[in-house]
């Protein structure tokens, strides 16, 4: 597949998809050169497509089929229809042009099969494994577009993904409860005497508050570690981690005393744009 195989419409399609569904990552791409921006948008659009499967199906089986299509495509088992899919076409181009490994992309899709069922997340270790294969993997792949892989980048990507993922679990609680799905680990809830049915009933109990405080503490540790590790990686790779500035803002907002965890509190796009622009000019992302 040649570099010119993907028409401009495919590039615009990916950009629109990411802008609509993952605005912080879309904004982060504005701070990289055009070629790398196109590659990052392909990665992020792929992630959006995988994450959206959960909300596009009413039963697990159709979702499994959609996710399987992506894993088959990545393994080369889908031919004509892959080039007709703008996200797949752009992703295949990015994999080839930047030598990206296919395995973590396939694992990312496979890990999101968990989203299709109402099985609760059992332990903190299980949540960290899920986030390492999804959020952390995406950070690592994006970084590889911008600079050669290294242990330092992998270490940074792991902590960045765990911080972002845990914060998303906290932010998505209202939506998850509406689906009777729980990404808050059962183990954490049990440790604070919080029952799953109380969570599904929307009860703001002391146990739930304590569980969320524990998660916020875990997220803060990973975020602090990730930000401290930025100095260990090349400046060229740091734009891939600009979404951490939004994670920082989200964590602060979600940790406010008296906040009702069952009320959605989305950040405005203007504030997101401002947060990432300021971060792009800050010492931690430039020096």
* Mean pLDDT, range 247-259, rounded to an integer: 94
Separation of alpha carbons 263 and 34, rounded Å: 38
Taking residue 242's Cβ as centre, other Cβ atoms within 10 Å add up to 23
- Cα-Cα-Cα-Cα dihedral of 212, 213, 218, 223, to 10°? 100
Whether residue 4 is predicted with pLDDT greater than 60 in this model: the reply is: no
Domains along the sequence of the chain with CATH? 7-117 (no CATH), 118-287 (1.10.600.10)
Instruction: Give how far Cα 280 sits from Cα of 90, 94, 153, 197, 276, Å.
Output: 26, 24, 18, 43, 6
pLDDT of residue 8: 62
Q: 104 phi and psi, to 5 degrees?
A: -65, -30
Report the candidate in 77, 25, 69 with the shortest Cα–Cα distance to residue 47.
Answer: 25
The set of residues, in sequence order, having a beta carbon less than 8 Å from that of 208 and lying 6+ positions away, is 189, 192, 194, 198, 199, 261
Mean pLDDT of 274-286: 93
Q: Which pLDDT score, from 0 to 100, does residue 79 have? A: 60
Q: How confident is the model at residue 2 (pLDDT cuts 50, 70, 90)?
A: very low
Write the DSSP symbol of residue 262: T
Contacts 24+ apart (CB under 8 A), 25-30: 25/243, 27/242, 27/272, 27/273, 27/276, 27/277, 28/239, 28/240, 28/242, 28/243, 28/276, 29/239
SS (H, E, C) 43-100: HHHHHHHHHHHHHHCCCHHHHHHHHHHHHHHHCCCCCHHHHHCHHHHHHHHHHHHHCC
What pLDDT was estimated at residue 90?
96
Q: pTM of the predicted model, to two decimals?
A: 0.94
pLDDT tier for residue 249 given thresholds of 50, 70 and 90: very high
Instruction: Report the pLDDT value the prediction gives residue 266, as an integer from 0 to 100.
Output: 85
Chain segment 98-147, per-residue pLDDT in tens: 999 999 999 999 999 999 998 999 999 999 999 999 999 999 999 999 99
- The residues, any chain, with a CB within 8 Å of residue 126's CB and separated by 6 or more, are 185
Mind listing the pLDDT tens digit for each residue in 155-198?
A: 999 999 999 999 999 999 999 999 999 999 999 999 999 999 99
pLDDT of residue 269: 95
Question: Mean pLDDT across the stretch 21-44?
Answer: 97
Summary mean pLDDT of the chain: 93
Give the pLDDT confidence score for residue 242 in this predicted structure.
97
What angle (nearest 5°) sits at the alpha carbon of residue 231, between those of residues 131 and 23? 45
Query: Distance between CA atoms of 185 and 197, rounded to whole angstroms?
Result: 14
Give the angle 45-48-53 at the CA atoms, nearest 5°: 135
pLDDT 10s digits, 193-248: 999 999 999 999 999 999 999 999 999 999 999 999 999 999 999 999 999 999 99
Say yes or no to pLDDT of 84 above 90.
Answer: no
| CA distances (Å), origin 178, targets 48, 52, 211 | 21, 16, 19
What is the distance between the alpha carbons of residues 198 and 194, in angstroms, rounded to a whole number? 7
């Amino acid at each position: 597949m040649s570099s010119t195989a993907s028409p401009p419409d495919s590039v615009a399609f990916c950009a629109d998809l990411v802008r609509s569904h993952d605005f912080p990552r879309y904004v982060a791409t504005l701070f990289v050169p055009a070629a790398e921006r196109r590659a990052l948008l392909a990665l992020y659009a792929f992630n959006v497509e995988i994450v959206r499967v959960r909300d596009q199906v009413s039963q697990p089986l159709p979702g499994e089929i959609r996710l399987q299509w992506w894993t088959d495509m990545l393994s080369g088992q889908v031919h004509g229809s892959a080039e007709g899919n703008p996200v797949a076409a752009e992703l295949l181009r990015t994999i080839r042009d930047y030598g990206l490994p296919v395995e973590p992309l396939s694992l990312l899709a496979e890990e999101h099969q968990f989203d299709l069922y109402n099985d609760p997340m059992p332990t903190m270790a299980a949540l960290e494994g899920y986030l390492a294969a999804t959020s952390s993997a995406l950070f690592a792949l994006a970084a590889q577009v911008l600079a050669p892989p290294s242990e330092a980048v992998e270490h940074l990507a792991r902590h960045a993904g765990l911080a972002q993922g845990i914060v998303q679990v906290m932010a998505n609680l209202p939506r998850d409860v509406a689906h009777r799905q729980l990404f808050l680990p059962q183990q954490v809830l049990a440790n604070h005497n919080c029952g799953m049915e109380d969570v599904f009933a929307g009860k703001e109990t002391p146990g739930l508050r304590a569980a969320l405080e524990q998660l916020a503490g875990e997220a803060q540790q990973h975020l602090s570690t990730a930000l401290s590790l930025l100095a260990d990686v090349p400046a060229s790779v740091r734009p891939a981690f600009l979404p951490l500035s939004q994670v920082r803002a989200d964590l602060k907002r979600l940790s406010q005393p008296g906040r009702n965890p069952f009320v959605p509190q989305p950040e405005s796009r203007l504030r997101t744009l401002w947060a990432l622009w300021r971060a792009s000019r800050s010492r931690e992302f430039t020096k």
